[in-house]
């Protein structure tokens, strides 16, 4: 059965304290893995797409990486404005119109 | 560009009432989606439409119907609302080319 698991469920960091969020997946025939940011009361906002193991993407303080079993979202020297819920989603080659989401990691960065 | 818009933003229903959630996108996207988001459960796909004229079931379609009215609009209907349908509903669209999804602001639905 296809599964997407995110850990931890919640993460509290001090401003400037770097860390990583994990998204592990058991999906046959991965076409793409996506990271989204969701602020309270809003819809998810796209961050990155990763297609193959070894691929990395960066945007400001965020870097996403992908292996054959998991993806990491590394947050370097976070700021309070990075506080949000981060969601990952996977897409299979077979029926690529469907996306499977994890339950998210709620990040709180304290000043 | 407004992106993906959803109406209404909030709705309270009584058990057994019906309603339609509206979604529209102005990005000329082919695919559109309806998700529900419940605490601790992430986003679960209700229905999707890969292109105008087609609709397919997702993970949790029971109790819902959809209509792809045209390329821009994709509506979700609850025929007889139940308390288990209390949730936040998100509509999304994708061009199909780059695959990232664009989400609307959500509809917060409470069924009493």
pLDDT in tens, A77-89: 999 999 999 999 9
Give the strands of the sheet with A70-75, arranged side by side.
A3-7, A19-26, A70-75, A62-66, A56-59
> Are A98 and B40 an interchain contact pair (Cβ–Cβ within 8 Å)?
no
Partner A contacted by B106 (CB < 8 A): yes
3-state class (DSSP) for residue A23: strand
Number of CB pairs < 8 Å for A and B?
57
Predicted local confidence at residue A96, as pLDDT = 80
* Residue A81 Cα distances to A39, A62, A108, angstroms: 10, 13, 9
> Are B103 and A49 an interchain contact pair (Cβ–Cβ within 8 Å)?
no
Chain A nearest-CA distance from B51, in A, is 10
Q: What residues contact A103, with CB distance under 8 A and at least 6 apart?
A: A5, A6, A9, B40, B41, B42
Q: Provide the pLDDT confidence category of residue A8 given band limits of 50, 70 and 90.
A: very high
Disruptive mutation site among B43, B93, B106 for chain A (greatest number of A CBs within 10 Å): B43
Q: What is the token pair recorded at B85?
A: 């349908």
Q: Look-up: residue for tokens 């509903």?
A: B89
Predicted local confidence at residue A97, as pLDDT = 82
- Strands A105-110 and A10-14, by their bridges, are parallel
pLDDT surpasses 70 at B98? no
Structure confidence by residue, pLDDT tens digits, A41-57:
999 999 999 999 999 99
Chain B nearest-CA distance from A77, in A, is 26
User: CA nearest B47 in A: which residue?
Assistant: A98
Predicted local confidence at residue A95, as pLDDT = 81
Chain A nearest-CA distance from B112, in A, is 21
CA dist., res. A26 & res. A68, Å (int): 9
Average pLDDT over residues B56-79: 96
Predicted local confidence at residue A1, as pLDDT = 67
> Are B105 and A99 an interchain contact pair (Cβ–Cβ within 8 Å)?
no
């Amino acid at each position: 059965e296809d599964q997407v698991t995110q850990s931890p469920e919640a993460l509290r960091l001090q401003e400037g304290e770097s860390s990583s969020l994990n998204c592990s997946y058991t999906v046959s025939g991965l076409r793409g893995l996506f990271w989204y940011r969701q602020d309270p009361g809003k819809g998810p906002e796209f961050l990155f797409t990763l297609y193959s193991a070894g691929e990395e993407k960066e945007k400001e303080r965020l870097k996403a990486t992908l292996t054959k079993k998991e993806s990491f979202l590394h947050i370097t020297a976070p700021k309070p404005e990075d506080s949000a819920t981060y969601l990952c989603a996977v897409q299979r080659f077979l029926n690529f119109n469907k996306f499977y989401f994890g339950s998210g990691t709620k990040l709180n960065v304290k000043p | 560009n407004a992106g993906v818009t959803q109406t209404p933003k909030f709705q309270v229903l009584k058990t057994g009432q019906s309603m339609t959630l509206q979604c529209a996108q102005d990005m000329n996207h082919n695919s559109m989606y309806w998700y529900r988001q419940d605490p601790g459960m992430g986003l679960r796909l209700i229905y999707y439409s890969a292109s105008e004229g087609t609709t397919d079931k997702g993970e949790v379609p029971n109790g819902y119907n959809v209509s792809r009215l045209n390329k821009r609009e994709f509506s979700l209907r609850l025929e007889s609302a139940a308390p288990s349908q209390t949730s936040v509903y998100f509509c999304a669209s994708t061009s199909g080319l780059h695959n990232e999804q664009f989400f609307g602001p959500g509809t917060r639905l409470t069924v009493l």
